[in-house]
Chain A
Amino acid sequence: MQKLVRGLLPVSLVAVSLATSATAQTELRMMWYNDGIEGEVMQGILDRFEEANPDISVTLDVVPYKSVLESLPVQLASGQGPDIARVTDLGGLSQYYLDLTPYISDPSYWQENFGPFLKWLDPQGEAISGFMTQLTVTGPYVNKTLFEQAEVEMPGEGATWDDWATAVVEVADKLEIPIPMAWDRSGHRVAGPAISMGAQMFDAEGNPALVDDGLKAMAQRLYDWHQDGTMSKELWGSVSGNTYLGANEDFANAQVVMYMSGSWQIPQFADKIGDAFDWWAVPAPCGPAACTGMPGGAALVAIKDTEHPEEVGKLMDFLTQEENLAEFYGKTLFIPGHLGLAKGGVEFATDDPRAKHALETFAGAVPTISPIAFDLQGYVNNRIMFNALISRLGEAIVGELTLDEAYERMTDDVAKQLAEKGRQ
């Protein structure tokens, strides 16, 4: 028995010392969602960070995007959130962000390289809360191979939404493709084309004013396209409320001629479609007021309830080093959210000419983005507007409301939610 105790003693001591060293390590939790391979790329960079900082461990909690939209706000409100999170409701969650200024080594580097986007994260102030893991621009993709097979000419620069609708229907009819045109079921996706049609989104005092003639012009088109079969009701008509649905799978399976989505689909299409057909990003179609998409993106932000702000600052400093961000943007095929890298150019890790063309198209679209679109993206309550738009338009498309009733309800929904939010 004594022998057994003597034998076990050293083992126990080693175990205790290991446990002690493990508990001495600071653990940071990062909430993350994936569109493509960015989780893998981020994990590689985090591994290097942990190697260089053995006293800090970072756990990448990969969750569905829906959790970031719906669960994260509740977690943050209850003070139970992660230390860092990847978010897309950039301004909407700003009350929960940590101002990293005291914890990062060189705030001027951040101002210089992330300056315009920091405003999206803190519309009211000057805080440095995080950085953009990707900039996105909404815009359409077309299946160029189908156009070639149908011998229909693709509308060129300056083509309107109506031109594209006519062309894609012709292609679909000739080749019996089930869905001529598909749009993500998202208010953000509709906003760019609506602004192209003349939507102002805000009144003269800067208050949200969702419904105007510009928005009605685009909404009417979407409604008509669903009724005449240009768009399938499967996407917009098959779910309720503000549920997001994408047509990426259908597009990748060559079931869609034109797909209105955005630059974040590039890595996925490069991976899934490859050279099966020519998927081609095209410039945002035009309306009478503009030819614009919507800017947007995802940001990695520090959360103010963290118990380890120093370590979070250290990690953020590491992640935003140019070589790390260049690697991240390059491997993920994301449009850089770092001005220095955007200027100098990132070497994207792809030989796929379609992916390269898409990246060029979306990056080239940035200067054509309407100022209204930038204002809308920076507006803290933009999701209230997007959700009202998508849910009520969806109800009109399936025949539950007339378009006029839908406009009325959109206005009411926005007013009601803003009033509720204002009750503090």
Chain B
Amino acid sequence: MADPATLTMSERLTALVALPARMVFQVLEYPLMLIQRLVGIRGMPWVFLLPNLAFFGIFVVIPLFINFAFSLTGGTQLFLADRVYTGTEQYAYLFDCGNYLDPTTCREDRFWKGIFNTSVFIFFQVSFLVLFSLITALILNQKIRARGFFRAVYFFPVLLSPVVVALIWKWILLRDGVLNAFLVWLGFDKILFFVSPEWAMFWAIFVSIWAHMGFYTLILLAGLQAIAPDLYEAAEMDGTSRERVFWRITLPLLWPNMLVVIVLALIKGVQIFDEVFVLTGGGPGTATQFIVQYIYNTGFTQQVQNFGLAAAASVVLGVVLFVLTMIQLAVTRRRDNG
């Protein structure tokens, strides 16, 4: 250790700040050496992973198995041991349909309505989310005035709680909300946005895009900034048009990021619940009732809390999410491997 008298003020300060960390390491050193002696150097990564694995196991893996076990039971008892084993009855009930494309022919019509609504939501939400995120990222990648400010503005909604986002928009869209006041001021009639299935779905998609666009814009912006400027300079020297530059350079090089964005947006889209639940409550009727809300309603809001059916529906949802996650992993791996 250096002689304290020879240290500069800044070095002393650094040493002082590092002191607690140094003390912690000194305390940990002996037990870690002991563990290393026991498990060997090759076992040490597992020791470091253990806390995280335990956390993941307790809060994710075990509940997953419990949920699956619940899906094979019936009745209203909360504890698994008290419940009646029903085998695949809950799944058979969910899939009992005259025509899968027409939810009204299904015994559990709301489950299929939830799937149908979620599919419509995903189709429009993901398409427009990716489109708007791309346009915004392209604009924010230009040398425009107050670029930092605009980047922050677009990202700001991502920081808000989904409930806050939904409440803000709900107040805007109500009969006596700001938007209707504006429409009346312009001479139009008020629109009851939450009474029309089309408007309700439109606003559910719009609000979701508004809330999440900043995050995806950031991913695409990072991708855009990773494209070597030489390529654009070479294209400019060759006199390539801007459209051609976009289609032949920007988009192909941004494509791996686009795929990540699409898959992430798909996964988030399937999981949609909180914003729409607060915004529309799933209505009108079941027009914006998505699959997660169906699970919530079935498991918790009925007098007979049907945990078995809710668990079976969430297993189905889990399978869909698993497939999407596998796609995302494959895409990421392909991108990382060049």
Interface residues of B (CB under 8 A from A): 74-79, 84, 86, 104, 107, 109, 175, 192, 194-195, 197, 200, 280-289, 293, 297, 300-306, 308-309
Which residues of chain A are near B284, meaning CB under 8 Å? 233, 237-240, 398
Q: A228-284: which residues lie under 8 A (CB-CB) from chain B?
A: 232-234, 237-243
Whether A240 pairs with B75 at a CB distance below 8 angstroms is: no
User: What are 22 A-B interface contacts by the 8 Å CB criterion?
Assistant: A70-B301, A74-B300, A232-B192, A233-B195, A234-B195, A237-B284, A238-B200, A238-B284, A240-B285, A240-B286, A240-B287, A240-B288, A241-B286, A241-B289, A381-B304, A395-B285, A399-B285, A400-B287, A420-B76, A420-B304, A420-B309, A421-B304
Complex formed: what's the CA distance from A241 to B286 in Å? 7
Which residues of chain A are near B283, meaning CB under 8 Å? 237-240, 243, 394, 398
Known: A395-B285, A424-B77. 14 other contacts (CB 8 A): A74-B78, A74-B305, A77-B77, A237-B195, A238-B200, A239-B280, A239-B281, A241-B282, A242-B302, A381-B303, A399-B285, A400-B285, A405-B104, A424-B76
Complex formed: what's the CA distance from A238 to B84 in Å? 37
Which residues of chain B are near A423, meaning CB under 8 Å? 74-76, 84, 86
Residue of A nearest to B299 (CB): A74
A73 contacts the other chain (CB 8 A): yes
Whether A242 pairs with B197 at a CB distance below 8 angstroms is: no
Whether B281 pairs with A234 at a CB distance below 8 angstroms is: no
Complex formed: what's the CA distance from A412 to B194 in Å? 28
Which residues of chain B are near A412, meaning CB under 8 Å? 107
Among B286, B304, B305, B306, residue most surrounded by chain A Cβ atoms (within 10 Å): B304
Whether A383 pairs with B303 at a CB distance below 8 angstroms is: yes
Q: What's the interface size class on A, roughly?
A: 35 or more
A409 contacts the other chain (CB 8 A): yes
The distance from the CB of A251 to the nearest CB of chain B, in whole angstroms, is 14
The distance from the CB of A188 to the nearest CB of chain B, in whole angstroms, is 12
Which residues of chain B are near A133, meaning CB under 8 Å? none
Take A240-B282, A400-B285, A405-B104 as given contacts and tell me if A178 and B84 are in contact as well, using a CB distance cutoff of 8 Å: no
The distance from the CB of A172 to the nearest CB of chain B, in whole angstroms, is 15
Query: Of B75, B84, B287, B306, which one neighbours A398 at CB under 8 angstroms?
Result: B287
Which residues of chain A are near B79, meaning CB under 8 Å? 77-78
Residue of B nearest to A395 (CB): B285
Whether A242 pairs with B282 at a CB distance below 8 angstroms is: no
Complex formed: what's the CA distance from A31 to B241 in Å? 69
Complex formed: what's the CA distance from A383 to B308 in Å? 20
A92 contacts the other chain (CB 8 A): yes
Residue of B nearest to A253 (CB): B176
Take A240-B282, A398-B284, A398-B287 as given contacts and tell me if A178 and B175 are in contact as well, using a CB distance cutoff of 8 Å: yes
A387 contacts the other chain (CB 8 A): yes
The distance from the CB of A99 to the nearest CB of chain B, in whole angstroms, is 22
Complex formed: what's the CA distance from A405 to B104 in Å? 9
Query: Of B289, B293, B300, B306, which one neighbours A417 at CB under 8 angstroms?
Result: B306
The distance from the CB of A30 to the nearest CB of chain B, in whole angstroms, is 23
Query: Of A232, A381, A387, A398, which one neighbours B285 at CB under 8 angstroms?
Result: A398
